[in-house]
Amino acid sequence: MYRWILFIHIASVLGLLLVHPVTIAFHLKEERVDVRIRELLEVSEAASALRWIFFGLVVVSGVVLGFLGSWWGSIWIWAALVIFGLIALVMNRYGGRTIDQIADTKDDAQMERLLARFNPWILAVTGTGGLLVVLYLMMFKPSF
């Protein structure tokens, strides 16, 4: 059973990465044609429900693995959860909210200001770096 839950956990992370809008964010940063910007935002919004499904599967399968492996007494699992939570917070606050503001604006000058301030590298580095640290914790289970 542990291996199947682990499979679901890893597959859910892969699914989350496949539907994640960081790639769109890089295109959005460079795009200046209003119609194309709106299309990119529509693609991002269309994948939103699927992202939340994968996010939920990652969390639920991770919690189940914590119980099946009796890991809750280990520091590494708590560190991984905190890091995963911080990744989600940065992604939502900086990525999701900024993209929502861009999508909601009807003023081209305001959209230009929002796009000029938007830095998709923050999302890419936070997500990639954070997930690599979580992967390290999961694989090597350091005791600190």
| Cα(70)–Cα(54) distance, integer angstroms | 24
pLDDT reported for residue 23: 86
Nearest to 17 by CA among 105, 112, 114, 87: 87
pLDDT reported for residue 69: 97
pLDDT in tens, the chain (144 residues): 999 999 999 999 999 998 888 888 999 989 989 899 999 999 988 888 999 999 999 999 999 999 999 999 999 999 999 999 999 999 999 998 999 899 999 898 999 999 999 999 999 999 999 999 999 999 999 997
| Cα(131)–Cα(80) distance, integer angstroms | 9
pLDDT reported for residue 114: 93
28 within 8 A of 99, measured Cβ to Cβ = yes
